Amino acid sequence: MTTPDKPPSQCKKPSGWMGRLMLWSMNRRHSALTDWGLQHVHINPRDIVLDVGCGGGRTVAKLAALASDGKVVGVDYAEASVEASRNENATWIERGRVEIRQASVSALPFPNDTFDLVTAVETHFWWPDLAHDVREVRRVLKPGGRLAVIAEFYDGGKHAKYADRLSNAIGIASLTIDQHRDMLAIADFADVQVTEDAARGWLCVLGTKPLGNSAVEGERPTHVA
């Protein structure tokens, strides 16, 4: 599934002073949603975690606190987001616990089977090609590793009345709960679980890369220390 081709908005690709304001707002507005979603994910202290579409960096900081002896990498394709995430996580970066890189979900610069967990908070509906990009995420997960997609924007949820409007206006992909489940199942994730808090309009979708099922795509040369 490919999102409609629309010019980037400040939500999709923040830039300038408006982008900095948007990233600050995202950190604030998505914090409770992120806390709720991460409650459904088991994170070991030594886990190596990737946050795709790290935005303003608040999720990366939360993950670094949970993976207390591990490492968290955040990626975003927007230069403003990378700068904001680095500022938000300056202390973690100095300690060698966090790394922020500019990269696209469509071509993650990591070898196969690198991460124990990949998170995507309020971002997957911007991905250029969901089918390809979910498989790219699966490639960099270790066998037994998990993908967690956390969002409050989905078709059929509390905020669904905005779905068609935003989809047509700025190219955001609006998926039903079943489509979210299929999104992971089609990419060969196992044990796909969907949790919805209908009252708040929050969704958490989890999938596991099967054990003994290493990625078959060619490895990328860059590694995570």
Where do the domains of the chain lie?
16-208
What pTM was computed for the model?
A: 0.84
**What number is the average pLDDT over the span 98-121?**
97
CA distance 50 to 28: 21
The model's pLDDT over 137-190, given as tens digits with 9 standing for 90+, comes to 999 999 999 999 999 888 876 665 665 565 555 567 789 999 999 999 999 999
Provide the β-strand partners of residue 129: 2
Q: At what angle do helices 79-88 and 58-66 cross, to 10 degrees?
A: 40
Indicate the range of 10-24, 78-92, 101-115, 168-182 predicted with least confidence: 10-24
Among the residue ranges 17-31, 94-108, 117-131, the one predicted with the least confidence is 17-31
- CATH homologous superfamily of domain 16-208? Vaccinia Virus protein VP39 (3.40.50.150)
Tokens of 163: 């779905």
pLDDT for position 158: 62
Give the model's pLDDT for residue 55: 87
Contacts 24+ apart (CB under 8 A), 22-27: 23/55, 23/56, 23/80, 23/81, 23/84, 24/56, 24/84, 26/55, 26/56, 26/58, 26/122, 27/55, 27/56, 27/57, 27/58, 27/88
pLDDT confidence bin for 102, thresholds 50/70/90: very high
Among 186, 46, 47, smallest CA distance to 129 is for 186
